[in-house]
Structure 1
Amino acid sequence: MSETLTAQAPAPEAARPKTRRRAPETLALLVFLVAEVIFFSVKSPYFLNWDNWGNILTAVSITGVLAMAGTLVMVGGQFDLSVGSGVAFVGIVLVQAAPVLGIWPALGLAVLAGLGIGLLNGFLVTVVGVNALITTLGMLGIFRGLTLVIGKGQSIFIEGFDWATARPFLGIPMPAVVLVVVVAVFFVLMRFTVFGRKVYAIGANPVAARLVGIRVNRVLFAGFLLSGACMALAGLMVTSQLGSSSANTGVGLELAVVTAVILGGTSLSGGTGTIGGTVVGLLIVGVLSNGLTLLNVDSSWQQVATGVLLILAVAVDRLRQTYMRRNG
């Protein structure tokens, strides 16, 4: 009887997982987002307009889809900086193949192109053992160059592929609907599945994860493959929105994705981060860009503001890591 009572007794306070440490940083992000909304609402009468919020969600949809997979990969302690060129490559494959093969076979080929990039990244990182940062930077250059070669440096248009311009529900743009679905999928994947728990364990301590039987390379490979799938989806979305694709498609998406993910609380060293935090980080960037546009701030200064946000996010991440180490 005493053994049973001992087994059912609550764990000592020191042994309980400290799950409340993320609350302050998430709260701070939400406070900053609310402050942005209040500021731009006062400064512009158009900011709180329903159509304007549709514009904000549409503007962040491409980055958001990529940032969901980016969060997963970074929580696992890896990077994928090839997303921008991957989006462009998917788009150029689609617009080049559609007149020859037809739209549906071209769609399948474009999706395979995105998955192929994820597969190459995963193979080089998990099988060959090349550093993820070097691998994906190399892929960024390779696929940006291939996109330029295939498209001959021109914008190539596509007809009959405008699904992303539709507003199927309450006037909400289709890209926003897609973003919500992708966020929901990755939220469930990261929070409620064994795979998600394995990603967190690998990011926190890959050696310990391997010792407890987690197939680290297989999990990381799957993460890069999911990133490739998101590249494919984002490439189809942006091509549909623009009605064309070129070598300049997706330029700067790497910075936008990294900014949203790190700003949302995902650690550069892996092991911590949430999909919800990334969504808040994404909205902070999106609201800032939209608000500055409504205030007629030059686009160059908007890029400066995004760069400042990235530096602040990294600085906050380092301070958070120092705090966590000092407080156990």
Structure 2
Amino acid sequence: MSKSNLVAAHAPAPAARRRPAADMLARPTAGIVLLLGFYVVLLIAFALLSPFFLTISNLANIGTNMAFIGLMAAAGTPLIIGGGLDLSVAAVAGLAGVIVALAHASGINIWLGCIVALVIGGSVGVLNGVIVTRLRLNPLIVTLGTMSIFSGLSMVMTGGLSKPLFVPAFNWLGSGRLLSVPFPVILMLVVFLVLWLVLSKTPFGRFVYASGGNPEASSLLGVPVERTQMILYVVSGISGAAAGIVLAAMLGAAAPNAASQHLLTIIAAIILGGTSLFGGRGSVWGTLIAVLILGTLNNGLTLMNVSSFWQDVTRGVVLLLAVGLDQLRVRLQG
């Protein structure tokens, strides 16, 4: 065999060329583009199916009803990117509402009650963070346990009953408007914007991605992994308390389990938005679009008189499809 033939025989095979569609799907921004496209399709479909869908009041209702979920999903996104997980956030939301209601019933200034609720929410975050980062316990088990603890405390404090909260200035937090835009929606968007700036424009944001992507290697390179995760747990706890305050203000009452039923929606929004449960990858804007998609689905199907059971089925199918597409995109990037 000649030298030229020998070299040709042992030369690596040329890499298979991917199709243009595959190349587009492999881009980092492809997930958000797909989500936006799906959201636009949903808007068009429900607008054609229901004459009440695209009204200003209905769109405002979608934003208002999903705002408190968005607050918790927004803070949960960097936590999961950083390698953590917080299942207790909805229980903290219920506890915060209960604390505000009981403080008001006891004659304590309601705004002082809100501050106390936020401090307790942050304290729960510290508790979760210490157990996870210092004791090295699985965050799923840890936050599942604290979820049960604080849900139970809320039930004990209220006897399982809702507590009324009719204070006009306080209720404005959940039903008021600024420039015709519902205040809860404005608050949610501000939180998303702040978190995006932190994740994309600050060294702490780089620490978050590094901590979730490869915590061992990041620690060796000087990244404060434990401190980063601790801060993320505190932010998650505070966001849960803030969401509980907004929800109580919107309902005019504090129910101990008011937010617990939305825990799956919070996690679904984060995953649907493209955040990896294994950490190191995700975007708060993807989570925001996912929150809007889930809220639009719920609202549109309700307007069409679709049973709540079939709505659960639909949300599950959408979530599975989104995860499947996201995994395909990750493999193409690889």
Q: 1:247-258, aligned counterparts within 5 Å?
A: 247-258=256-267
After superposition, the C-alpha distances for 1:118-150 in whole angstroms (9 at most, x for unaligned) are 111111111111111111111111111111111
Residue 199 (structure 1) aligned with residue 214 (structure 2): no
1:315 Cα shift? 3.3
The correspondence for 1:110, drawn from 95, 110, 117, is 117
Partners of 1:251 and 1:39 in 2: CA distance: 30
Structure 1 SS opposite 2:126: helix
Aligned to 2:181: 172
> What residue identity is the alignment partner of 2:281?
T
Kept in 2, the 8 Å contact 1:62–1:237? The answer is yes
Kept in 1, the 8 Å contact 2:91–2:259? The answer is yes
Give the structure-2-normalised TM-score. Answer: 0.88
Kept in 2, the 8 Å contact 1:262–1:317? The answer is no
The correspondence for 1:47, drawn from 38, 45, 53, is 53
Aligned to 1:292: 301
- Cα 1:302–1:89 change in 2 (3 A) is same
> What residue identity is the alignment partner of 1:32?
F
Kept in 1, the 8 Å contact 2:90–2:260? The answer is yes
Partners of 1:32 and 1:105 in 2: CA distance: 43
Structure 1 SS opposite 2:227: helix
The correspondence for 1:27, drawn from 33, 53, 56, is 33
Kept in 1, the 8 Å contact 2:71–2:239? The answer is yes
Residue 155 (structure 1) aligned with residue 162 (structure 2): yes
Partners of 1:125 and 1:83 in 2: CA distance: 15
Q: 1:105-144, aligned counterparts within 5 Å?
A: 105-144=112-151
Aligned to 1:6: none
After superposition, the C-alpha distances for 1:236-258 in whole angstroms (9 at most, x for unaligned) are 10010111112221122221111
Residue 304 (structure 1) aligned with residue 308 (structure 2): no
Q: 1:38-117, aligned counterparts within 5 Å?
A: 38-100=44-106, 101-117=108-124
Aligned to 1:10: none
1:162 Cα shift? 0.7
1:201 Cα shift? 0.9
Partners of 1:123 and 1:94 in 2: CA distance: 26
> What residue identity is the alignment partner of 1:312?
L
After superposition, the C-alpha distances for 1:213-246 in whole angstroms (9 at most, x for unaligned) are 0110000000000001101110110010111112
Partners of 1:292 and 1:321 in 2: CA distance: 31
Residue 274 (structure 1) aligned with residue 283 (structure 2): yes
Partners of 2:240 and 2:109 in 1: CA distance: 21
Give the structure-1-normalised TM-score. Answer: 0.89
Partners of 1:282 and 1:240 in 2: CA distance: 20
Residue 222 (structure 1) aligned with residue 231 (structure 2): yes
RMSD (CA atoms): 1.8
Partners of 1:308 and 1:90 in 2: CA distance: 33
> What residue identity is the alignment partner of 2:252?
G
1:115 Cα shift? 1.0
Residue 211 (structure 1) aligned with residue 220 (structure 2): yes
The correspondence for 2:241, drawn from 222, 226, 232, is 232
- Cα 1:227–1:57 change in 2 (3 A) is same
Q: Which runs of 5+ in 2 are unaligned?
A: 1-25
1:293 Cα shift? 1.2
Partners of 1:266 and 1:165 in 2: CA distance: 28
Partners of 2:97 and 2:318 in 1: CA distance: 29
- Cα 1:68–1:197 change in 2 (3 A) is same
Residue 265 (structure 1) aligned with residue 287 (structure 2): no
> What residue identity is the alignment partner of 1:314?
V
Partners of 1:284 and 1:308 in 2: CA distance: 13
Kept in 1, the 8 Å contact 2:97–2:256? The answer is no
Partners of 1:81 and 1:310 in 2: CA distance: 18
> Which stretch of structure 1 is more off in the superposition, 158-167 or 206-215?
158-167
